[in-house]
Amino acid sequence: MNQTWPINTVADAARARITTARVAAAHGVPPLERTRLGAALSARLRRCLTKGGTWQFVLTVARGSLRVDVSPSPASPSLADGERPWCVTAPCPEPAAGPVPDAVAGDPTALSEALLGADEDTALVLERLAEQEELVAFHREELHQTNQGVLALHAELDAAGRAQREAFAAERAARREAEDARRRLTFLADASATLTASLNHEEIARLLPALLVPEYARTADVWLFDDAEDERAPSGPRPAAAVIAARTGRPQYAAAHPGGLPGVDDQPPSALHPGRSLLCVPLPTRGAPLGVVTLTPPGERWNPDDAVMLVELTRRAGGALDNARRFEHNRDIAETLQRALLTDLPTIPGLRLAARYLPATYGLNIGGDWYDAFRQPDGSLITVIGDVTGHGLHAAVMMSQLRTALRAYAVDGGSPGELLTRLHLFLHHLQPDLYATAVIARFHPGEPVLTWAAAGHPPPVLRGPDGRVRTLDAKPGAMLGIPLDQEIADHTVPLEPGSTLALYTDGLVERRAQGIDPGIERLAAALGACRAEELDADLDGSAERILDPMLSDSERDDDVCLLLCHIDGHAGSPADSRPRPGS
């Protein structure tokens, strides 16, 4: 289908517009597309009428589409230079159901009816538009509700986020506080164990600043009142807060601003250190304070929890110092008593004696080890070394009684075995629950023989003049004091000039992890390593050289006693002579 006609007037344009609408409707063009087609055509025709002249209108329906062409008419060549041909198309989904109407006649009534009929498409479009507007309004309301919900959800999420962040912050703060508290408690426990492990008050006074600086204090000064008479202790004025702490027994804080520390009194700044904060804590004891610890903070101010911990640590340090001083006092008394119970050795021509006694490094340094050497009426020399079970004052007193009893029995004479047998009966009846071990060796003038007896004691060690060492391990008697009837036998061994006999207690040779035999072997090796001229010239020095490798471990839980008896190499045997003052 193809229709063409000229357009000169408004009526021509109206007919073209109406014809196009009818043809489009006949070929099934949707109302929306018809409206778009009509609107575009009306705008073009209005433009053509405005320019004037004659225009050619062509309406073509072919191959499922409707096309409208508007171009200048050949009768108006002047329009062809300034205007390009214009066209618009619309799809035709179906062929015309009936005859295609012709162009509208020029009757005004027909044109009016056709124009009113053409507005039906507009009405359909407007109706469709109204439906879409309602739908848009509905969706707009839905979108508004959704947005309100989203905003409310965002507000809830934001509040939940803030609450979660606050909870995390509180948890981190609580974890940090718990970690700080754990750190303080761990430090307090470790520092307390370190301080209480020592029984030397000077060492405790040195340890306390080393534990606190630099983590908990920039500086730490320990002022012990009893050190005022010690020339080595630093002297000089003390801060007023330290003096107040010493007088009142309460911690004092001296600074330009109040510290607000629990249990601590605030004081003005120190005149000695006006620009520094001082925490002065007394070292308490059962009575008056022993001293004052003056601390400066590691930062600008003290942490209250750290201050509480420092006060507690200082209180424990005061207790450790008090215990150490009491122990040192009792140890001094015990050592004085122990030394008083040990006798001086006699001087015998041709026989040299040297003894060493070392108290245990634990306890009160008083025990039951003893040594003795004395003459019998027949001129022989009795040497004895023994060990009463246990430690402490009771063992020392029992040791003294055994020593006195042995000297009393020796006045009546008797061999070493007989003397030990009598001591056994004495101890069994005197102290049924107390036991002892002992070795007695007798040197008789004019006889190159050593007589000895042992009761439950480590065997003597004898070094010959050639340096060979033997252990005198003949069968000994049982311990003294056990509920057993026994007669302790004597043993003899040849004694050559230059020989050395070593009597000792188990504290010298016995170690818990090794037993006693390896220790006896070490003692024999140390004795054998001594040169003969050294033993002749300096027996005391030889005793020291024997002890050094035997006591390489610094801590001992038992007393150590060593007695060396050396026959001069140039003498035949010990000669009878009067005892002289001990060495």
Judge contact between 3 and 19, C-beta under 8 A.
yes
Structure confidence by residue, pLDDT tens digits, 514-553: 788 999 999 999 999 999 888 988 999 999 999 988 886 6
pTM for the full predicted model: 0.54
Task: Give the span between the Cα atoms of 242 and 220, in whole angstroms.
Answer: 12
Q: What is the mean pLDDT of residues 288-304?
A: 87
Task: Give the span between the Cα atoms of 353 and 582, in whole angstroms.
Answer: 10
Predicted local distance difference test score (pLDDT) of residue 391: 67
Bridge partners of 283, per DSSP, are 291
Q: Which of 291, 295, 294 is nearest to 321 (CA)?
A: 291
Query: Which residue bears the tokens 């008394």?
Result: 333
Q: pLDDT-based confidence at 24, cuts 50/70/90?
A: confident
Cα 524–chain centre separation: 48
Predicted local distance difference test score (pLDDT) of residue 34: 82
Structure confidence by residue, pLDDT tens digits, 453-498: 999 999 999 999 999 999 998 888 999 999 888 999 999 999 999 9
Query: Which residue bears the tokens 């033997």?
Result: 470
Query: Domains of the chain, with CATH numbers?
Result: 2-106 (3.30.565), 198-336 (3.30.450.40), 343-567 (3.60.40.10)
Measured from the Cβ of residue 61, the count of other Cβ atoms closer than 10 Å reads 21
Is pLDDT larger for residue 84 or for residue 256?
A: 256
Letter string b/e over residues 241-254, b meaning 16 or more CB atoms within 10 A of that residue's CB: bbebbbeeebbbbb
Task: Give the span between the Cα atoms of 502 and 562, in whole angstroms.
Answer: 7
Predicted local distance difference test score (pLDDT) of residue 418: 95
Tally the residues of the chain: 583
Lowest-confidence segment of 242-251, 308-317, 433-442, 568-577 by average pLDDT: 568-577
Is pLDDT larger for residue 112 or for residue 130?
A: 130
Judge contact between 400 and 341, C-beta under 8 A.
yes
* Average pLDDT of the chain to the nearest whole number: 84
Predicted local distance difference test score (pLDDT) of residue 363: 55
Cα 334–chain centre separation: 41
Predicted local distance difference test score (pLDDT) of residue 465: 92
Please give the share of the chain, as a percent, with pLDDT higher than 70. Answer: 87
Which secondary-structure segment (H or E) carries 353? strand 351-358
480 DSSP assignment? B
Q: pLDDT-based confidence at 112, cuts 50/70/90?
A: low
Predicted local distance difference test score (pLDDT) of residue 579: 41
Letter string b/e over residues 510-538, b meaning 16 or more CB atoms within 10 A of that residue's CB: beeeeeeeebbebbbebbbebebeebbee
Backbone dihedral angles phi then psi of residue 556, each to the nearest 5 degrees: -130, 140
- Look at residue 425 and tell me whether its pLDDT is greater than 80: yes
Q: What is the mean pLDDT of residues 276-296?
A: 88
Q: What is the mean pLDDT of residues 406-416?
A: 91
Predicted local distance difference test score (pLDDT) of residue 578: 41
Structure confidence by residue, pLDDT tens digits, 236-259: 788 999 999 989 989 999 998 888
Task: Give the span between the Cα atoms of 449 and 416, in whole angstroms.
Answer: 13
Predicted local distance difference test score (pLDDT) of residue 227: 59
Structure confidence by residue, pLDDT tens digits, 175-201: 888 898 898 899 899 999 998 888 888
The DSSP-derived string for 414-470 is --HHHHHHHHHHHHHHH-TT--EEEEEEEE-TT--EEEEEEESSPPPEEE-TTS-EE
Q: What is the mean pLDDT of residues 345-358?
A: 89
Query: Which residue bears the tokens 């003049």?
Result: 465
118-124: long-range contacts (C-beta < 8 A, 24 or more apart)? Answer: 118/17, 118/18, 118/21, 118/38, 121/21, 121/25, 121/31, 121/34, 121/35, 121/38, 122/35, 124/31, 124/32, 124/35
Residue 208, class by beta-carbon neighbours within 10 Å (0-12 exposed, 13-18 middle, 19+ buried)? buried
Lowest-confidence segment of 266-275, 285-294, 431-440, 566-575 by average pLDDT: 566-575
- Look at residue 330 and tell me whether its pLDDT is greater than 80: no
- Look at residue 91 and tell me whether its pLDDT is greater than 80: yes
- Look at residue 235 and tell me whether its pLDDT is greater than 50: yes
567 DSSP assignment? E
Token pair, residue 87, equals: 């066209």
